Amino acid sequence: MAEGLSPDFNADAEPSLWQACLDELSRELPEQQFNTWIKPLVAQVADDHSKLTLFVANRFKLDWVRAQYAGRLAALAERLQGHPVQIELAITLKETPVKPAVQSVSSALRGPVESLDAVDEAAPNTFRSRLNPALTFDTLVEGTANRMARAAAMHVAGSPGHLYNPLFIYGGVGLGKTHLMHAIGNKLLADRPESKVLYIHAEQFVSDVVKAYQRKTFDEFKQHYHSLDLLLIDDVQFFANKDRTQEEFFNAFEALLAKKSHIVMTSDTYPKGLTDIHERLVSRFDSGLTVAIEPPELEMRVAILINKAISEGSEMPEEVAFFVAKNVRSNVRELEGALRKILAYSRFNQKEVSIQLARDALRDLLSIQNRQISVENIQKTVADYYKIKVADMYSKKRPASIARPRQIAMYLAKELTQKSLPEIGELFGGRDHTTVLHAVRKIGGERQQLTELNQQLHVLEQTLKG
Ligand SMILES: Nc1ncnc2c1ncn2[C@@H]1O[C@H](COP(=O)(O)OP(=O)(O)OP(=O)(O)O)[C@@H](O)[C@H]1O
């Protein structure tokens, strides 16, 4: 990617292509988005109109524009131009002779009033946030599984330092916890670019503590962490057994809350489920809002697949998305892996994406899943977990200590296998399908309310998926 002007540009190039893009985008995008991200871009069109270079003020903006708008701009430019136009993004370097050249193009494009200074004024935030600009609320599909977490995250991004502080998000692997954290940071930076936002993985925090300890630089360490407006810290379960880190995190935590900075944490379990973490930290983790992210439901998985395919510049017909979503149920990361395989398979074999193609592309994955998750397997795993006999899964016994695990096993059978309600009923000692439906609804509903049950189900699901 260019970091300055490349010589093959004509500074006086006919500006109509960019102007037409601006006109179109100003109609398409919300005004605030257009004014913040598109309008300040300084454009240059290559002599032969094969390339459009856009200059931005800093790296953060460059990453953001690339993630959010480059695809749209390329499509738009191609449509307007009648042939593919390469979109290149570059940072305007103050110390290079770029300025006059860019300025003249800028003037040509938007009249003499707007100069590069207008771009510079959009104060580059030199603080390294470590945010991935592609992970935004816009690219995060909403569903029942993440609705509450997403709403809380939106609230925090909109008015940090107030409600839900700290925000503690927990859930299994690959369910979008990290994505949600980045989305909060990116939104805050988009709204208030001067904010000091830091995303950090808990392991990196541990390593920062170790470095500060070795180099005796705790003052700098504290200055750095205690000055933040928003601290996003991922996977705090990694603090287990790290006493010094826990102490430093406790200090940072207190300092940040005292100055009304916001803290968002993620973990694979809810605060009280954390092990080997000091009680005083655990109780602080739980003192704001604790929300779970659940595995995505079918419709959400379908929407994720369709959206991701589009963002990859491809298309996934709905029936194929349903087929994949029914077969890949565990988490979003696996869905993404499946999608990548299908798209690569389709490109490689030059075949359109179809159910048959998806079946071929995912053959290994599907056979592993089919092999691992059978109703019998579920019955055995659940019986072991709740310490009852496997035979009780088919028996007519009704005490709660047996009936409840049986209902849990029915629920998991519906969630994790392709079997219909009557088929499941049959495998549970010839029960009616309405009994199975009742169990599925009951456990599914309680899962949303009861943290402990939810945790147990997570463990069972992880065990069954191997
Ligand atoms: N609701 C969603 N919509 C779109 N993409 C999603 C969604 N949830 C997760 N993803 C994507 O799935 C992938 C895994 O998500 P992420 O890394 O946030 O998971 P995680 O919960 O932090 O997992 P881990 O605990 O393993 O770090 C990412 O590429 C993320 O963008």
Write the CATH number for 66. 3.30.300.180
Q: What percent of the chain has pLDDT over 70?
A: 86
- pLDDT at 112 (0 to 100): 26
Task: Please indicate, yes or no, whether residues 221 and 104 belong to a single structural domain of this protein.
Answer: no
Domain boundary among 346, 371, 396: 371
Task: Please indicate, yes or no, whether residues 31 and 154 belong to a single structural domain of this protein.
Answer: no
Each residue of 263-290: pLDDT tens digit?
Answer: 999 998 899 989 899 999 999 999 999 9
Compute the average pLDDT of residues 257-268. 96
Band (pLDDT 50/70/90 cuts) for residue 368 is low
Band (pLDDT 50/70/90 cuts) for residue 259 is very high
Residue type, 230: L
Q: What percent of the chain has pLDDT over 90?
A: 54
- pLDDT at 3 (0 to 100): 32
- Ligand 1: list residues with CB < 6 Å: 135, 139-141, 146, 171, 173-179, 304, 332-333, 336
Q: Which of 148, 328, 332, 458 gets mutated to test ligand 1 (max ligand atoms within 8 A of its CB)? A: 332
Task: Please indicate, yes or no, whether residues 419 and 434 belong to a single structural domain of this protein.
Answer: yes
Q: Is 176 annotated as a binding residue?
A: yes
* Nearest one of 259, 236, 261, 258 to 249, comparing CA atoms: 236
- pLDDT at 341 (0 to 100): 92
Sign of CA dihedral 201, 207, 211, 217: positive
Which residue owns the Cα nearest ligand 1 atom 4?
140
The better pLDDT of the pair 397, 452 is held by: 452
Which residue owns the Cα nearest ligand 1 atom 18?
176
Compute the average pLDDT of residues 13-26. 78
Answer whether residue 189 is part of any domain: yes
* Nearest one of 97, 96, 36, 25 to 64, comparing CA atoms: 36
Task: Please indicate, yes or no, whether residues 162 and 266 belong to a single structural domain of this protein.
Answer: yes
Q: Is 217 annotated as a binding residue?
A: no
Contact 153, 176 (CB under 8 A): no
Q: Which of 184, 333, 340 gets mutated to test ligand 1 (max ligand atoms within 8 A of its CB)? A: 333
Helix runs in 259-389, H state only:
279-285, 298-311, 318-327, 332-349, 355-361, 363-372, 375-385
Compute the average pLDDT of residues 322-335. 89
Band (pLDDT 50/70/90 cuts) for residue 96 is very low
- pLDDT at 312 (0 to 100): 85
Indicate the number of domains in the chain: 4
- pLDDT at 241 (0 to 100): 92
Task: Please indicate, yes or no, whether residues 161 and 215 belong to a single structural domain of this protein.
Answer: yes
Answer whether residue 366 is part of any domain: yes
From ligand 1's centre to the CA of 336, what distance in Å? 9
Contact 271, 291 (CB under 8 A): no
ipTM, interface predicted TM-score of the complex: 0.98
Output the six-digit token pair for 399: 């005490």
From ligand 1's centre to the CA of 180, what distance in Å? 8
Q: What's the CATH code of the domain at 361?
A: 1.10.8.60
From ligand 1's centre to the CA of 434, what distance in Å? 35
Answer whether residue 5 is part of any domain: no
Ligand 1 atom with least separation from CA of 145: 1
Lowest-pLDDT choice from 54-58, 339-343, 412-416: 54-58
Task: Please indicate, yes or no, whether residues 276 and 333 belong to a single structural domain of this protein.
Answer: no
Sign of CA dihedral 168, 171, 173, 179: negative
Ligand 1 atom with least separation from CA of 293: 21
Pairing of strands 197-201, 51-56: unpaired
The better pLDDT of the pair 389, 91 is held by: 389
Compute the average pLDDT of residues 293-320. 92
Answer whether residue 141 is part of any domain: no
- pLDDT at 119 (0 to 100): 37
Band (pLDDT 50/70/90 cuts) for residue 99 is very low
Task: Please indicate, yes or no, whether residues 52 and 110 belong to a single structural domain of this protein.
Answer: yes
DSSP 8-state secondary structure symbol assigned to residue 37: I
DSSP 8-state secondary structure symbol assigned to residue 331: -
Task: Please indicate, yes or no, whether residues 318 and 394 belong to a single structural domain of this protein.
Answer: no
- pLDDT at 313 (0 to 100): 87
Band (pLDDT 50/70/90 cuts) for residue 118 is very low
Domain boundary among 236, 262, 293: 293
Task: Please indicate, yes or no, whether residues 179 and 250 belong to a single structural domain of this protein.
Answer: yes
Lowest-pLDDT choice from 53-67, 159-173, 186-200, 214-228: 53-67
Is pLDDT above 70 for 403? yes
Is pLDDT above 80 for 416? yes
Task: Please indicate, yes or no, whether residues 153 and 289 belong to a single structural domain of this protein.
Answer: yes
Sign of CA dihedral 149, 151, 154, 155: negative
Which residue owns the Cα nearest ligand 1 atom 25?
173
Band (pLDDT 50/70/90 cuts) for residue 110 is very low
Which residue owns the Cα nearest ligand 1 atom 13?
333
Output the six-digit token pair for 265: 């944490």
Task: Please indicate, yes or no, whether residues 161 and 289 belong to a single structural domain of this protein.
Answer: yes
Answer whether residue 142 is part of any domain: no
- pLDDT at 179 (0 to 100): 94
Answer whether residue 310 is part of any domain: yes
Band (pLDDT 50/70/90 cuts) for residue 92 is low
- pLDDT at 221 (0 to 100): 93
Mapping DSSP to helix (H, G, I), strand (E, B) and coil, where does residue 427 land?
helix
Task: State the DSSP string of 59-87.
Answer: HHHHHHHHHHHHHHHHHHHHHHHSS--EE
Answer whether residue 410 is part of any domain: yes
Give every CB contact of residue 396 below 8 A, 6+ residues apart in sequence: 429
Band (pLDDT 50/70/90 cuts) for residue 15 is low
Is pLDDT above 90 for 57? no
Is pLDDT above 80 for 10? no
From ligand 1's centre to the CA of 334, what distance in Å? 10
Mapping DSSP to helix (H, G, I), strand (E, B) and coil, where does residue 352 land?
coil
Q: Is 177 annotated as a binding residue?
A: yes
Which residue owns the Cα nearest ligand 1 atom 31?
179
- Mean model confidence pLDDT for the chain: 84
Domain boundary among 308, 338, 371: 371
From ligand 1's centre to the CA of 201, what distance in Å? 14
From ligand 1's centre to the CA of 232, what distance in Å? 15
Q: Which contacts of 305-311 are long-range, i.e. CB under 8 A and separated by 24 or more positions?
A: 305/335, 305/339, 307/139, 307/141, 308/335, 308/336, 308/339, 309/339, 309/343, 309/353, 311/71, 311/139
From ligand 1's centre to the CA of 295, what distance in Å? 11
Ligand 1 atom with least separation from CA of 268: 25
- 309 lies in which domain range? 298-371
Task: Please indicate, yes or no, whether residues 165 and 177 belong to a single structural domain of this protein.
Answer: yes
* Nearest one of 87, 62, 61 to 75, comparing CA atoms: 87
Count the Cβ atoms, other than its own, within 10 Å of residue 443: 21
From ligand 1's centre to the CA of 225, what distance in Å? 26
Q: What's the CATH code of the domain at 173?
A: 3.40.50.300
Answer whether residue 378 is part of any domain: yes
Q: State the helix-helix crossing angle for 375-385 and 400-416, rounded to 10 degrees.
A: 140
